[in-house]
Amino acid sequence: MKKLSIRKITLSVSASVLMLGSSATWAQSITVAVAANFQGAMVQLVNAFGASGLPFSGSSFTVTYGATGDFQTAINTALAAPGGTTPYDLFFAADDTTPAALRTGHPTVVQVPFRYAEGKLILWSKYGPNVSTSGSSGFTNPASYAYANGQVAIANPVTAPYGTAAQQVLSRVNAITYPGGAYDAKFAQYTTIGTTYTAVNASTSATTYPNVGFVAKSQLCDSSTGAIRTPLTGTYFEYTPATVNGNPPHDRLLQDAVAIRGRAGSTNAAVDAFIAYVGSTAGRAIILKNCYI
């Protein structure tokens, strides 16, 4: 059986699960599945909602982070089981196709998806080549730079949309096939964009690998300024996708979320109240400050 890359840690505001309460009206329980790239923004959204004094802002949140494809598998499996119900009230995906597919497959419980963000792909070279001087390509081809085996981190293109975007960049801009190409050994693959970033961030020198990786802009973001944090060790290249999907260097990272009804103990009104906050002026400001479009 495939092991899903989904993390849940309890009772830590800075980790993967938040149990927050306030004196606001109508405290309920809300469970949320979130693509790994959105972790920093989700922590801030839940905290801000909890402090807002709005109806249901006293609700407790259980927030789990992981790969979009793994969440899709888990939700589909749960809903397809005899008498099965959703483990999550809300699912914030890293793409727009997965929530739509869940809606198609389970229209009686999966609600109409809504757009909450558009992400950006960054190539971060912490101790590798200077990628900021690579013109429009960013990634320096292995044919002209001697990458060590495992030096370049990439998220799994099958389950992580940011990994798919990186795969598209390699193909469309650099004419590199991944996986299955001549340079596969140069890459180290991780289950989520979260673990991809963690691996690069852990590098301490030019000889500790991976020290280059395709990550989300939000992971290098200073949410107090809405820009790449400074100082940043190493160099980076920001890919700007065309406005129409399918054009180089990669498809737009349109991120949709969806509410799923039916979890025991869930209150639809509380879930909808949080959705409304995410789409409010205050919620949008938090998302934008985390370097999303």
Tell me the mean pLDDT in the region 176-202. Answer: 97
Listed in order, strand segments (DSSP E) in 110-193 are: 114-119, 121-125, 152-155, 187-190
Supply the pLDDT for residue 218.
98
d(CA 267, CA 253): 30
Looking at per-residue confidence, does 223 or 247 come out higher? 223
Percent of the chain with pLDDT over 70: 88
Supply the pLDDT for residue 245.
63
- The predicted-structure confidence for 268-285, as pLDDT tens digits, reads as follows 999 999 999 999 999 999
For CA atoms 155, 156, 160, 165, give the dihedral sign.
Answer: positive
Strand, helix or coil for residue 238: strand
- The predicted-structure confidence for 26-59, as pLDDT tens digits, reads as follows 679 999 999 999 999 999 999 999 999 999 999 9
- The predicted-structure confidence for 74-91, as pLDDT tens digits, reads as follows 999 999 999 999 999 999
Cα 130 to chain centroid distance, Å, stands at 26
Buried b (16+ CB within 10 A) or exposed e, 37-65: bbbbbbbbbbebbbebebebbbbbbbbbb
d(CA 227, CA 292): 10
Tell me the mean pLDDT in the region 109-133. Answer: 95
Strand, helix or coil for residue 167: helix
pTM passes above 0.85:
yes
Does the structure show a pLDDT above 80 at 137?
no
Supply the pLDDT for residue 3.
44
Supply the pLDDT for residue 261.
98
Supply the pLDDT for residue 7.
57
CB of 162 closer than 8 Å to CB of 70: no
